[in-house]
Amino acid sequence: MSEPRLLPLRPKVSGFSSAAAWLRDHDITAKRIAELLGITETHARQLVFRGQWRVSQPNIPAVLENPFRPPADPFGPVADELRDRLSIRPRIDSWTVTLDKAERRGLDDLEALVEELGVAFWSGVRHGTGLARLRAMLQYIGRPAHFRRIRILARLRYLLAETYTHAGYSSTAIEQALTSMLLSKAAFDEGSETLDLERFGNVALLISQSYLLRQDPHRARYYLDLHRHARSRLGLPLGGEYLRQRGSAAFQTGDDEEARRNFTQAMAVLAETVEFGRPKQRYEVLNIGTRQMNLAGKVNWEGAQELLQYMLDVLPPGEIHISMNVNWTAACGFSTDSPGASQAARELLERHKGASVGFGHQATVAWLLSLTPDLPHSLQTAWVRRALYENTFKDH
């Protein structure tokens, strides 16, 4: 059966079990939850029950995660039985592989083709439209033994994982990312090239982000530590994205002071970062820190509105950063004591409701934020902070 061209990314009520359980734990009746979600009271009770008892850990094969957990050495060699699971040949085969001139040229072409997919990555994120062409490339890799071909496979799995992460399909994203991480480790086993260890660390960062989108900051921090250790082995500094995720983990645990400190550092580092010969753009720097700091600590409703207007002015319609800033700006409005700001936030979500379409996580956030004015005022601030990391697709 062929895969659908587009991911189903309209928020499903069945994915709101954790949100329903949170509401019930905060004395919102099942009848009121049903009214808020537009379902029957019986269905609401079922959602609450599932949300209270569902295990937060995603359904990830242990064989993929155990190599990164004690007592295993996260940087140790990939065992042959695991290599078979990864669809790469035993290590003994890699030692006997030699490439002639034509094979080296073919690998050069294949690497260039995959990197072209990486450059065009963002064009395939919305609705998951890029997944089909990424998966189509897998057939050209086969069951590799040479470290360069394993590296290409790792890169493809990374791009698949990143697409699923932005879609909100965090369980699938984590599984793809763990596979990529193990492949990078296998490529490093054979080639001992720093590029593979650097990519190993970058995948750990992606896994951390997927755990943050599951509201699991503790597991996220574990993979952030793996990223930090990989960078340390290479003698490389930590980047802005690492610091942003540290800030997000602190934000989720209620430590706004630590969150703001990390977001500030993330902006400073990113502002000095040059990738592929291009310095980071101002909107990227603001999005990595100012967006969140407008809500962490003292709410800056005016600053959030100014930032959103800037994003609308400089970014093309449909860009994911617009949906992010719409949602965080609305969250700021709902987190004030001003009825006017709350009304403006509600109107903002309605006016830009198309911005989140095609991005599963952002669509979930927008939908749940729209319920905020219908909740007791005493719960609204806590609800908003939770809604920003809710994700109806997290178990997919």
Q: pLDDT tens digit string along 347-364?
A: 999 999 999 988 888 999
Backbone angles phi, psi at 293, to 5 degrees: -70, -20
Summarised one tens digit per residue, pLDDT across range 135-144 is 988 888 888 8
Q: Which residues contact 264 (CB under 8 A, 6 or more apart)?
A: 289, 293
Backbone angles phi, psi at 37, to 5 degrees: -90, -5
Question: In this structure, what token pair is assigned to residue 383?
Answer: 């609800």
Summarised one tens digit per residue, pLDDT across range 147-166 is 889 999 999 999 999 999 98
Summarised one tens digit per residue, pLDDT across range 257-302 is 999 999 999 999 999 988 877 888 999 999 999 999 999 999 999 9
Please name the helix (run of DSSP H) or strand (run of DSSP E) that holds residue 139, with its range, or none: none
The share of the chain scoring above pLDDT 70, in percent, equals 95
pLDDT at residue 99 greater than cutoff 80: no
C-alpha 64/C-alpha 60 separation (Å) is 7
pLDDT at 95: 55
- Angstrom distances, CA of residue 380 to CA of 323, 342, 350, 376: 21, 10, 18, 7
Does residue 118 or residue 344 have the better pLDDT? 344
Least confident stretch, 5-14, 172-181, 268-277: 5-14
Question: In this structure, what token pair is assigned to residue 313?
Answer: 């002015």
pLDDT at 4: 46
93 falls in which pLDDT band (50, 70, 90)?
Answer: low
pLDDT at residue 94 greater than cutoff 70: no
C-alpha 186/C-alpha 160 separation (Å) is 19
C-alpha 155/C-alpha 186 separation (Å) is 13
Let me know: does 212 contact 221? Beta carbons within 8 Å. Answer: no
pTM: 0.91
pLDDT at 2: 42
Question: Scanning the structure block, which residue is given the tokens 């979930």?
Answer: 364
pLDDT at 212: 94
Let me know: does 180 contact 158? Beta carbons within 8 Å. Answer: yes
Residue 352 backbone class (left: φ over 0; alpha: ψ -120 to 50; beta: rest)? alpha
